[in-house]
Amino acid sequence: MAKVSAKMNALIASRYWETTPLTQMDEAQWEAICDGCAKCCLHKFIDDDVEEAHFTDTAKGEEEMFFTDIVCQFLHTKTCQCTEYENRTELVPHCVKLTQANLPEIFYMPPSCSYRRLHEGKALASWHPLLNGGKAHKMHAEGMSVRNKIVSELDVNMDEFEERIVTWPLNELD
**Per CB under 6 A, 17 contacts ligand SF4:** no
Name the segment binding ligand SF4 (CB under 6 A); options: 14-22, 62-70, 83-91, 118-126.
Answer: 83-91
Instruction: State whether the Cα torsion 111-94-77-66 is positive or negative.
Output: positive
Backbone angles phi, psi at 153, to 5 degrees: -60, -20
Name the segment binding ligand SF4 (CB under 6 A); options: 19-27, 37-45, 55-63, 132-140.
Answer: 37-45
Task: Tell me which H or E stretch contains 11.
Answer: helix 6-14
Residue 76 Cβ vs ligand SF4, minimum distance, rounded to whole Å: 8
Query: How open is the CA angle 131-14-98, to the nearest 5 degrees?
Result: 65
Residue 115 Cβ vs ligand SF4, minimum distance, rounded to whole Å: 5
66 forms beta bridges with 45
**Per CB under 6 A, 136 contacts ligand SF4:** no
Q: Which of 11, 12, 17, 39 binds ligand SF4 (CB under 6 A)?
A: 39
